[in-house]
């Protein structure tokens, strides 16, 4: 079973239909990684596959797809805009573990508490959020320190049923991605130096938080070792800092 393959296929083909997707380099050895985990009858192959693209407005569109049998499926899909746009991040963390499903879907804001920013990038999403939230109830506790990185339209849910993921979550994912590409289409480059500086700071704040707190770190370390994991996190999943210092 590969629960999130349809999400990935949909996202790539939908983006191709609206954007001029160019490849984004994936560091050698990180395109696909596999390991055998567990013992005896419980042995499972865990394969992590990476995908990455870029466009004129989007610095990095990347996905990590982890497939390890029925009770281990993850699709982490993030879009990082170029630093001369004030666009939010598209963030999807779709996670299935032995304990159940955990779904995080949002347009993650650069400036969480700025009214003009909210009016531009959150208010238009609220109708979509409310439509889906009726069927996808609030997932409960999540790290308080992560709050600044999510918008008021954050869909956060832990569905009991796989069917809910396949139907309701998939529908929400499609609607959020469409709305995001609408924002991208409308986005105009920022030229004001002061504004550009605050955007870079906000991107770095987000990136450092995600790289430091990556909830998948433990899992990846167990499967693939510490060295591979740190390189994957800093050299691919959350690579902005490296890209800035190596220009």
Is residue 143 a contact residue for ligand DBV (CB under 6 A)?
yes
* Span from 19-27, 29-37, 51-59, 141-149 in contact with ligand DBV (CB under 6 A): 141-149
Distance CA 122, CA 169 (A): 19
Kind and range of the H or E run holding 125: none
Among 11, 125, 177, 219, binds ligand DBV (CB under 6 A): 219
Token output for 156? 């956060």
What is the closest distance, in whole angstroms, from the C-beta atom of residue 94 to ligand DBV in the complex? 9
**Binding to ligand DBV in span 103-122, by CB under 6 A:** 104, 108
**Residue 94 near ligand DBV by CB under 6 A:** no
Whether the Cβ atoms of residue 105 and residue 92 lie closer than 8 Å to each other: yes
Q: H or E stretch including 196? A: helix 193-213
Residues 72-91 close enough to bind ligand DBV by CB under 6 A: 74, 76, 91
With CB under 6 A, what is the number of residues at the site for ligand DBV? 21
Q: How far is the CB of 97 from ligand DBV (least distance, A)?
A: 6
Our CB check for ligand DBV shows the closer of 14 and 142 to be 142
Kindly indicate which of the ranges 22-30, 51-59, 142-150, 193-201 contains the residues binding ligand DBV, using the contact rule CB under 6 A.
Answer: 142-150
Provide the token pair at 180: 């995001």
- Using CA atoms, how far apart are residues 32 and 34, in angstroms rounded to an integer? 7
Is residue 11 near ligand DBV by the rule CB under 6 A?
no
> Whole-number minimum distance, CB 34 to ligand DBV, in Å?
15
Bridge partner residues of 101 (DSSP): 96
Give the one residue of 146, 164, 190, 196 binding ligand DBV; rule: CB under 6 A.
146
Q: Which residue sits closest to ligand DBV, CB atoms considered?
A: 216
Residues that bind ligand DBV (CB under 6 A): 64, 74, 76, 91, 93, 95, 97, 102, 104, 108, 142-143, 146, 149, 209-210, 214-216, 219, 237
């Amino acid at each position: 079973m590969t629960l999130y393959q349809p999400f990935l296929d949909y996202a790539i083909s939908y983006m191709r239909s609206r954007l001029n997707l160019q490849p984004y380099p994936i560091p050698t050895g990180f395109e696909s990684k596999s390991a055998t985990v567990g013992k005896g009858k419980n042995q499972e192959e865990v394969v992590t596959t990476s995908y990455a693209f870029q466009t004129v407005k989007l610095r990095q569109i990347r996905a990590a797809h982890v497939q390890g049998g029925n009770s281990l499926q993850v699709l982490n899909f993030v879009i990082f805009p170029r630093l001369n746009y004030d666009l939010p991040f598209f963030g999807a963390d779709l996670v299935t573990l032995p304990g159940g499903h955990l779904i995080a879907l949002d347009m993650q804001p650069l400036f969480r508490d700025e009214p003009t920013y909210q009016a531009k990038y959150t208010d238009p999403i609220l109708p979509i959020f409310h439509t889906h939230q009726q069927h996808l109830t609030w997932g409960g506790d999540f790290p308080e320190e992560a709050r600044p990185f999510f918008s008021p339209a954050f869909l956060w849910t832990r569905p009991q049923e796989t069917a809910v993921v396949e139907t309701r979550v998939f529908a929400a994912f499609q609607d959020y991605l469409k709305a995001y590409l609408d924002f991208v289409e409308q986005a105009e480059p920022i030229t004001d130096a002061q504004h550009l500086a605050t955007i870079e700071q906000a991107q770095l704040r987000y990136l450092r938080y995600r790289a430091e707190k990556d909830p998948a770190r433990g899992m990846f370390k167990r499967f693939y070792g510490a060295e591979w994991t740190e390189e994957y996190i800093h050299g691919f999943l959350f690579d902005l800092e490296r890209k800035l210092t190596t220009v």
